[in-house]
A and B are shown apart, each in its own frame.
Chain A
Amino acid sequence: MSAGAWRSTRNAAVLIVGLLIAWQLLYAIAGQAALAPPLATLRYTAALLATEGFRGHLSESMRAFGAALTIAVASGLLIGFWLGFHKLAGEVCEPILVALYSIPKITLYPILLLAFGLGMSAKVAFGALHGIIPVALFTINAVRNVKPILIKTGRVHGLRPTEMVRIVLFPAALPEIFTGLRVGFSLTLIGTLGEMFAAQRGLGYLLMTAIGLHNVELIMAVTLILFMFAAAVSSVLLAVDRRLHANA
């Protein structure tokens, strides 16, 4: 194992042990009514993962997340490339995107529910709404920062717009775009879990029912599952992100 890999493994171990200790300590302070201890939660989570009912909620959320992420990435990239490449359109629209990025989107959830109805499409829309803008904003900047000489060379070769994107812009802007995808992933996940506020199925719904019933073990287990999933995928994306930036 190389020194760097050893170091990051050790760091991860320290972080996980530290979090577990903090968790156990918090349990000691707050007691049974507020949260379950780590070991009991792990056991409960393992049992939960095996139940039929849970798998239904999980697959519902995963399908919503998958669809939302696909929409967010595809439209984010499309908007980003277009606005990044056309100077005027970019200058006109970017501040609008930045303003939209900063609004508390959670307030829009009731509107989406009215527009899409209670169900899958509202979740997908809410998730995608969170993801599109960061992907677009990062892509705009990535495309703008591509060295002009690369674009000029592309023009000299008479590339068509699609070829320009595929052969020149995308590879050159990839590291920055990937950072956008990483942020987009996180936000889309949060957005999809907007199902916490109103839904009939899914992990967010399960979490809300658990909150309503004050089922502490279930709350902790679902939170743990979401945390592990987010942490695992983010770590992988972060590692790829670092490698891309190091090569650039």
Chain B
Amino acid sequence: MTRIGLYRALMIAAAVLLLEGLCLSGMIDRLTMPPPHRILLDLATILVSGSQNAAILKTLTNASIALALALVLGVVGAVALHGHLSAREILEPLFATYYAVPIFAFYPLLIVLMGLGDAPQIGIGFMLGVVAVIVNTLNGLDRVPRVLRKTARIQRLGMVEIALTVTLPCAAPYVLTGVKFAVAYSLIGVIGAEFIMSRGGMGYEISFAYTNFDNATMYPLILLILAVSIAINAALSRWEKVLLGRRGQ
């Protein structure tokens, strides 16, 4: 481990220890938060007993579907939009304000349209993620050197071929940035929708545990979501670094 990494690990350990101390000494009372070691033990119990497996599976599956939809439609949308400057100019303000709009407000609309199954939750996750993918892919496509496009044209490649073999691979690091956002957003969308109204899933279980002061369920589930999203994000960041490194950046 490098010196920087060591400092970082020490800092995080100190923060957890501080939390542990505050909880054990009663400065943070048990109804507010159990000590971190307790949360870990509770998480282990939940995972071993499998009591929350259905909820975990449901949420992760829905988030994955939302993510996949956002990725495919987002990248296709960005490629289609990239060629049309005027359409892009018109949509730009929409993209810029999109994330200031509470997308969850559209959840009831989706429930009416799709019924109270998994579909509206996936819909919210998709709606949150797709614009991040479009914006970042467009950003990447803007940075493709003109010589590559010219070469592709000289090779008489078609539109789809150019996108698949030249421009998208070249824009990959930026697309990956979009993917990182989309991972977080699809989780936020699905879990948030489950908080508001649903019949299962981790968000539902967390809010159910919250209303019942069941910290032994609530905190481990929150920890699990945080751990999953941080792990995915770290893996993607590493991949992004590798991609950029190959280009000597």
Contacts and interface: CB of A to CB of B under 8 A. Distances in A.
A227 interface: yes
Interface stretch (A12-20, A44-52, A72-80, A147-155): A12-20
A110 interface: yes
Contacts of B230: 99, 102-103
B187 interface: yes
Interface string B182-216: 01100110011001110000010011001000000
Interface string A211-231: 100101001001100110011
Interface stretch (B100-108, B142-150, B156-164): B100-108
Interface in B74-121: 89-94, 96-97, 99-102, 104-109, 112-113
A211 B107 contact: yes
Nearest to B32: A114
Contacts of A105: 188
A206 to B, nearest CB: 11
A interface, by DSSP: helix, strand, loop or mixed? helix
B191 A104 contact: yes
Given A99-B230, A103-B184, A107-B191, A193 B108 contact: no
B184 A102 contact: yes
A138 to B, nearest CB: 15
Interface in A187-215: 187, 189-190, 193, 196-197, 204, 207-208, 211, 214
Contacts of B234: 99
Contact of B100 (A98, A208, A231): A231
Interface stretch (A28-36, A120-128, A157-165, A170-178): A28-36
Contact of B99 (A88, A102, A111, A186): A186
Q: Which 7 A-B pairs have the closest CB atoms?
A: A230-B100, A186-B100, A34-B112, A223-B105, A234-B97, A110-B210, A104-B188
Interface of B: 4, 7-8, 11-12, 31-33, 89-94, 96-97, 99-102, 104-109, 112-113, 180, 183-184, 187-188, 191-192, 195-197, 203, 206-207, 210, 218-219, 222, 225-226, 229-230, 233-234, 237
